[in-house]
Amino acid sequence: MDVRSKNHVRVSGLAGGPVVVLAHGFGCDQNMWRLVVPELERHFTVVLFDHVGAGNSDLSAWSRERYSTLNGYIDDLLELCRELALGPVVFVGHSVSAMMGALAAVREPEAFAGLVLLAPSPCFIDDPDTGYRGGFSAEDIDELLESLDANYLGWSGAMAPVIMGNPERPELGEELTSSFCRTDPEIARVFARVTFLSDNRADLANVTVPTLVAQCSSDAIAPPEVGAFVHAQIAGSQLVTLNATGHCPQLAAPEETAAAIVAFAGASR
């Protein structure tokens, strides 16, 4: 199947410019990047796509077997880079997609000029034995997944505003709720387990491409300690703490988010 149709790939911006690939997180699609794209298009060739199972991707390409781990998504990402043949790209991954990008760069570092890990988390679950703080106890995650299984639409309405943060701007939480609710519940259940149960802490030390870790100043899903951990594990990485709050700075603070991407991606040429 052609990757452009499978992943609803769209290419825009500066023809012949450095390439920036934007990857969305759980329950979202490429529309979540719309507020940062105009600024990025001034400097780069911009590639948008939907993970299989999200947005306008080809849902017939989704299978539980392929997408029950991050590997299926990593395979898709590397296939996209090869088929578009745009040369080494700067990959911007939000939330769970940050780890997809990191793992893809470990597997094929030559495909990447750099990584921007936006609100990343290699493991959402606290590990008291090592002192790692992921933001959730194992019991928290079990309850979260049980609630999602029991009533996905109800879970979406309750969790999306928490993930988004910015309670003084309820329209942001409403947008994320709507995005969650457009996702097929079966696909969402599988992707949620991939997102919240994966532990890629040990893989970070193998990342060798230039990396920017961009965390938010306050984030209920990926607290600042997580960004600091990712930065410490990836040799030579840069860490920036955005003034933005919540887990989706590309919506809550698009100008600041775009500026961080432009500054890093331009320097990675």
Which residues are known catalytic residues?
95, 219, 247
Q: Residue 226 in contact with residue 125, Cβ under 8 Å? A: no
State both tokens at 229.
């951990």
Q: What one-character DSSP code corresponds to residue 85?
A: T
Query: Which residue, among 267, 225, 266, 265, has the nearest Cα to 116 in the 3D structure?
Result: 265
Q: Which residue has the tokens 């030559």?
A: 110
Distance of alpha carbon 163 from alpha carbon 52, whole angstroms: 22
Q: Residue 88 in contact with residue 21, Cβ under 8 Å? A: no
Q: Which residue has the tokens 């409403």?
A: 174
Distance of alpha carbon 123 from alpha carbon 222, whole angstroms: 9
Distance of alpha carbon 254 from alpha carbon 14, whole angstroms: 19
DSSP string across 214-263 = EEEEE-SSS-HHHHHHHHHHSTT-EEEEEEEESS-HHHHSHHHHHHHHHH
